Amino acid sequence: MAIKLDMGRAWNEAVAMLSANRHVVLVVAGVFFLLPNLAMTLLAPQITTTTSTVRTPGPQPDPEQVMAQISAEMGAWFQEVWWMFLLAALAQAVGTIGLFALLTDRARPTVGEALRFGVRALPTYMATQLIIVFGYLALIMTVLVVAQASPAVAAIMGLMLTVGLVYAMVKLSLATPVIGIEREMNPVAALKRSWRLTKGNSLMIFGFVLLMLVAFLVISAVASLVFMGFALLGEELGMIVSAVGNGVLTMCLVAVMVAALAAVHRQLSGRTATEETFD
């Protein structure tokens, strides 16, 4: 019989894990999430998408020309910064796996040991993400092929696809905890393990994650209003404050999400809570 998830217990355990390990969590989250976000915001070239150069004979610019120009400018911008996105994504993957190890491993690993494991597990993590992405793309391509034959059927399939993708995301949400906590280095086995662990609890996990995301969006909206106030004191100051503030918010969200998923994994895998603090 599948274990039923207790969201209240999961949240309390997540808070307890973060509180007991707050120092190492701040170090890892700061280095692998805050700093990459700051670098992307402050060092990456700014997007200069504009419609001012579009020339049309009429009083209004041609929408197709505008979209073509925007696409070209976005493409040129991404060609400049793609490597920054890649490095940031790899760093955050290592940091995420390292956090799972730090928060749950009874062997009390040091920060260095946890991060070294994160580097070793990086190929497994990347493989799981590629499998998921290719699976999604295959489903989307199927809908697009059907759309050419019957738009009505494609619309229904599109709705079903959206629901299916959300369901799959929930079912596979514990793949990274399985890698970081159970040390599963086979990507297919990690995905299968996640699918089994979430059996009978998909809706609860979806609601749990959704509540955290909604709370984060509300906090981010309020914080953005505060950050905008600093922009009145100068464009550069506003950009720096916004970058630091958004980076801190992202860092906090990731830390909370990792702890929450670790607590969910602990419950659904039948593991007992550990009281060790990792220094």
Q: In this predicted structure, which of 1-5, 9-13, 131-135 has the lowest mean pLDDT? A: 1-5
DSSP state of 202: H
CA-CA distance, 152 to 158, in Å (whole number)? Answer: 10
- The three-state secondary structure class of 275 is coil
Percentage of the chain beyond pLDDT 90 is: 47
CA-CA distance, 140 to 145, in Å (whole number)? Answer: 9
- Give long-range contacts, CB 8 A cutoff, 24+ apart: 239-242: 239/41, 239/42, 240/42, 242/41
Under 8 Å between Cβ of 111 and 118: no
Residue 2 has pLDDT above 80, yes or no: no
pLDDT band at 136 (very low <50, low <70, confident <90, very high): confident
pLDDT band at 53 (very low <50, low <70, confident <90, very high): very low
> What are 21's two structure tokens?
């390990």
Cα dihedral across residues 114, 120, 123, 124: positive or negative = negative
pLDDT per position as a tens digit, 72-89: 878 887 788 888 888 989
| φ, ψ for residue 230, nearest 5 deg | -70, -25
Question: Given this model, what pLDDT does residue 188 score?
Answer: 96
Percentage of the chain beyond pLDDT 70 is: 90
CA-CA distance, 78 to 196, in Å (whole number)? Answer: 38
Residue 248 has pLDDT above 80, yes or no: yes
Helix axes of 175-182 and 235-269: crossing angle, nearest 10 degrees: 70
pTM: 0.83
The CA-atom distances, in angstroms, between 157 and each of 168, 169, 176 are 16, 18, 29
Under 8 Å between Cβ of 169 and 205: no
DSSP 51-72: STT---SSSS--HHHHHHHHHH
**b/e sequence 191-229, b meaning 16+ C-beta within 10 Å:** bebbeebbeebbebbbebbeebeeebeeeeeeeeeebee
Helices (H), 105-201: 111-149, 151-171, 175-182, 187-197
- The three-state secondary structure class of 33 is helix
Q: Is pLDDT larger for residue 157 or for residue 256?
A: 256
Ordered by start, the domain boundaries in the chain are 7-44+64-269
Residue 108 has pLDDT above 60, yes or no: yes
Largest CA-CA distance found in the chain, in angstroms, rounded = 72
Question: Given this model, what pLDDT does residue 14 score?
Answer: 94
Residue 97 has pLDDT above 80, yes or no: yes
pLDDT per position as a tens digit, 256-278: 999 999 999 999 998 755 443 33
pLDDT band at 206 (very low <50, low <70, confident <90, very high): very high
Question: Given this model, what pLDDT does residue 275 score?
Answer: 40
CA-nearest of 55, 74, 57 to 65 is: 55
